[in-house]
Amino acid sequence: MKQKMPLFSEAELSRIIEMAWEDRTPFDAIALSHGISEQQVISLMRSHLKAGSFRSWRARVSSRSTKHVAKRPAGVVRAYCPTQYKQR
C-alpha cells in the first residue's frame, strides 16, 4: 500500500531536497527529521527536480553506501561533516 505524502512548506521541501542531495546524509536521517520513507524521498525528488537532474541524483545515490545507515562504516554516526555548518 502506498503511503500518503505529508504536506511540506517550501522551506521544508527545500531542506529535504538538500538533505537528499547530500552524499553523506542517509535516508534514515531524512525519515527521522521529516517522517518520510526512502521511497517517498525518491518520489519527492522525481516530482521536484528536472528529469536529467533526477536521473543524475538517482544514479549517484544508488551506488552510495553512505545513503543507507546499514551500509555505513560503524564509526560514522553523524549525518553531516563536522565543518559543514560552521558559523562564518
The answer as to whether 23 is a domain residue is yes
The answer as to whether 55 is a domain residue is yes
Check pLDDT > 80 for residue 54. Answer: yes
- What does the pLDDT average to over 40-49? 95
- Domain carrying residue 53: 10-71
Rounding to the nearest 10 degrees, give the CA dihedral for residues 74, 75, 77, 80.
-120
- SS3 assignment, position 74: coil
* pLDDT tens figures, 13-35: 999 999 999 888 889 889 999 99
Tell which residue, 34, 26, 25, has the closest CA to residue 3.
Answer: 34
Q: What is the mean pLDDT of the chain?
A: 82
Total domains present in the chain? 1
pTM of the model: 0.72
The answer as to whether 44 is a domain residue is yes
The answer as to whether 5 is a domain residue is no
Tell which residue, 48, 42, 57, has the closest CA to residue 3.
Answer: 42
Confidence band (pLDDT; 50, 70, 90) for 57?
Answer: very high
The answer as to whether 14 is a domain residue is yes
The cell for 21 is 542531495
Check pLDDT > 80 for residue 3. Answer: no
Q: Find out whether 41 and 68 touch, Cβ atoms under 8 Å.
A: no
The answer as to whether 21 is a domain residue is yes
